[in-house]
Amino acid sequence: MNYSEYKNYMSKIADVGHSIAVLSWDKEVYMPSGSSRFRSQQVATLSGIAHEMMTRSSFGGSLKKLMTDESLSPKEKNNVSLTLKEYNKATQFSEEFVIKRSMLTSEAFHAWVKAKEENNWLTYAPALEKLVDLKREEAKLLGNADHPYDNMLDIYEPGMTVKKLDQIFIDVRERLLPLLEKVRNLPRVDDSFLFLDYDENKQWDYGIDVLKAIGYNFSMGRQDKSAHPFTTSFSPEDVRVTTRLKKDDFSYMLWSTIHEGGHALYEQGLPTSEYGLPSGSYMSLGIHESQSRLWENNVGRDFDFWQHQFTVLQDIFPSQLGKVSFVDFMKAINKIEPNLIRTEADELHYHFHVMIRYEIEKKLIGGEIEVKDLKDVWNDMYEEYLGLRPKTDEEGILQDIHWSHGSFGYFPTYSLGSFYAAQFFEQAQNDIYRLNEKIERGDTTELLSWLRQNIHEVGHSMEAEELCNKVTGSGLQLDSFINYIEKKFTRMYEEY
């Protein structure tokens, strides 16, 4: 197998993987509620086919031979190296294990949906218990880690470990707690106007306009509704997003739409010529989350973006926002107050939501706690970290979809993404002449072009820390995030 044949073979594996993604997207958006049994079987069958293709011994031999090919370019060599790493991981699992994992994931997802509708944790717990047992087995099969959870982290953030994350979150606590104390002493913010009656059709149309405003290409994508907003990609030329709506909570739609739009912009910016290869895929979930968090927070919650968008929004909802001042609106969408729902959390408390999930997952995969105890552990940690205790399962243990997907190791990337986002946006402001003024005029094209060139088109041609160094001149650090937060709140409360 030469490099061209390797590339064609990887494209075929990607075709199967993206076919699974289409079925999974439909499962969460349009599939009738009674259709889960055969859909689960179909996804499991395709998962088995993809695994068999990836783990063929002849393919492994070809990869090892290609690694000795001196004619390969550095990018080609990196593609083969990363594929060999995935091959070595995949060969730790039997096809039977992969099919079982797919079936248990489908079972857990449908149990989560039903439990959320019923607001009953016990409807979900048995399916989750079986999935957690399998994920523990997966961690053991991967082996060679200081902590079993390291193998889960490596799926989403290659090279990340419990040891590194523990230190990151120690730093987060030490640096965010003084900021929270400072904000608590500021005048109380009235955000009641965000919870009036907002027509859902108008909300939907505005969400579409915001996606267009930040550069989402609707000729190669679409937006739908789902229980938990998500982005999925079948290729850079077909990237789908979902959102959710509440008639009496405008923020519910707004932040999920912009957040998923940021993910989608990344996927639409990946090089089509590298389809199926590491160089045509995202770098890590931390970098992926940096794109969603950058658009949601560094752009979407900042003054410059709303200098243009606020008058547009007032024209759409005059009775709700017509008499609200620009500064009061900015304070409302940046209100700092502990809450129970991660996706609705402010920029500071958000990271405590992530820490709770990280601590739980680490102990769950490590066998220190069991699924039967999760609800009590969750509620106790919310009371300890945020001073709040969930009154219902829906606002507590059932709020996130991730565990039903088997996505243990994903949650820490939300915090990592926020910190990467602050560094990237700070650098973009340095590199793009008068970027803030352009965003004020409603023009984000140069920012998107900068992200395309420096992040999206790079694909997975290096690791996240290396990319951060290349783009910003330093590895991951909290200084940019802290400076960004302090600057925003100083402007909000001292300049106005």
Q: Which residues are catalytic?
A: 260
The values of phi and psi at residue 235, to 5°, are 175, 170
Token code pair at residue 434? 């008068």
- Strand-pair category, 231-235 with 221-225: unpaired
Q: Report d(CA 157, CA 409) in Å as an integer.
A: 8
The total number of residues shown for the chain amounts to 496
- Strand-pair category, 231-235 with 238-243: antiparallel
Q: Quick one: which of 285, 296, 223, 217 has its CA closest to 256?
A: 296
Q: Quick one: which of 492, 454, 449 has its CA closest to 473?
A: 454
User: Which DSSP category does 102 fall into?
Assistant: H
Cα dist from 184 to 50, 337, 353, 451, 493, whole Å: 52, 8, 18, 35, 13
Q: Report d(CA 217, CA 193) in Å as an integer.
A: 31
Alpha helices in 372-444 (DSSP H): 374-386, 412-431, 435-440
Q: Report d(CA 220, CA 222) in Å as an integer.
A: 7
Token code pair at residue 205? 């149309």
Element of type H or E holding 235: strand 231-235
Task: Return all residues near 182 (Cβ < 8 A) that are at least 6 apart.
Answer: none
Whether residue 29 contacts residue 21, with contact meaning beta carbons closer than 8 Å, is answered with no
Amino acid at 352: F
Q: Report d(CA 428, CA 447) in Å as an integer.
A: 7
Q: Report d(CA 156, CA 284) in Å as an integer.
A: 6
DSSP 3-state assignment of 399? coil
Q: Report d(CA 253, CA 249) in Å as an integer.
A: 8
